[in-house]
Amino acid sequence: MGMEMRSGLLAALVFMFASPGVDAASELRQPVVLLPREAKLSPGLSTFVSSTLPGPYIGGWMDKTRFIDFELKVEPGRYRLVARIIPQAGGYLSAKIDEAQAVRRSVSKIREAMYSPMEIKFGEIDIPKSGAHLRFLGDNISPPGLCLFFQAELVWVAPSTVAAKVKSPLLLAAEKEQAVKELDAAKSSQALLESLKGTTWTFFVMSNDFTGQAVPMVFSVDGRLSLFGGANKNYKALDGRTLDIFYGAPGAYSRLRFADDLRSFKADVEEGIRMPRSGRLQEVPGSPTGRTGQPRVGANPAASGVAK
């Protein structure tokens, strides 16, 4: 064998061993495992531990407004995404990175009892930056809830195909407009919470025997809510007129939409447990005289008085 041929063969071997392919590179990277304790959960979802199931899991009612959110402290790149769940009912489980389009997968209800999670494969997704958020949501779900969520895994495949893209002027303008909307919503939400402090509302609830009951809903001046005998109900303002009230059990909440003058509200019959149906402002305590219908000192005038 000539000198030139031996040199060429040696160079080819060096190139082969010095330039591993994408598959070889991915094999050297350990999967990134995302566990329940690392997730941020929206109201209505909780973490549970069971002696019959492998490790902690997330349960509760998951829909378009409730989510499991992970902050991804990983190298930007393209990853294969797999979630491990035990189905509870039929529906869809979606996954999306930040504001990217969601990847949707069908979840079928399992008739027999399961004690080991099954895999839901979402395929390959792009993670454009460290600190991006991976969010799981549900859709078209029947009771008792979509699934028990155990963990998700990310397996590195290749460098990201979107990380190096320059944002267009239209995208930058849309992002700026979205930021302004979120800031306005946050300000109006805070204004609603301040207006509700020190007010008492009443609404009418029908029981199973078709008898009615007037229930007071009291917002104390320190920000606590008393309802159905509970003095510390959780609630959240979505904007300047919309309030979600959570009842403790997974999936149990009401969405209230207040009138512009804050003298009455109606429940969104498409949301939550569909009660209370409607309500009116009953009194505003904290005034010097303490009489019903008198505004408290410093109260928003629009939040005072009794509905006709």
- Along the 308 residues of the chain, how does pLDDT read in single tens digits? 454 544 444 444 434 444 444 444 445 688 999 999 999 998 888 899 988 888 899 988 777 778 999 999 999 999 999 999 999 888 889 999 987 878 999 998 887 788 889 999 999 999 988 899 999 988 887 776 788 999 999 999 988 765 445 566 777 788 888 888 888 888 888 988 888 888 888 877 665 555 667 778 888 888 788 887 777 888 888 888 888 888 766 667 778 888 887 878 877 655 555 555 567 776 654 433 333 333 333 333 333 333 32
DSSP 63-118: -TT-EEEEEE-S-SEEEEEEEEEEE-SSEEEEEEETTSPPEEEEEPPPSS---S-E
Q: Which of 158, 173, 201 is the last residue of a domain?
A: 158
- 198 is written with which tokens? 């020190």
- 222 and 290, same structural domain? yes
pLDDT at 71: 94
Does residue 174 sit within a domain? Answer: no
Amino acid letter for position 257:
R
- 194 and 108, same structural domain? no
Sign of CA dihedral 64, 256, 295, 289: negative
Q: Answer for the pair 69, 133: CB distance below 8 angstroms, yes or no.
A: yes
- 193 and 75, same structural domain? no
HSE of 96 in the Cβ direction (CA atoms, 13 Å)? 11
pLDDT at 69: 95
- 132 and 196, same structural domain? no
- 27 and 141, same structural domain? yes
Does residue 45 sit within a domain? Answer: yes
- 246 and 140, same structural domain? no
Does residue 201 sit within a domain? Answer: yes
Alpha-carbon gap, residue 17 to 19, rounded angstroms: 6
Does residue 242 sit within a domain? Answer: yes
Range of the domain at 128: 21-158
Number of domains in the chain: 2
Alpha-carbon gap, residue 253 to 82, rounded angstroms: 31
- 193 and 97, same structural domain? no
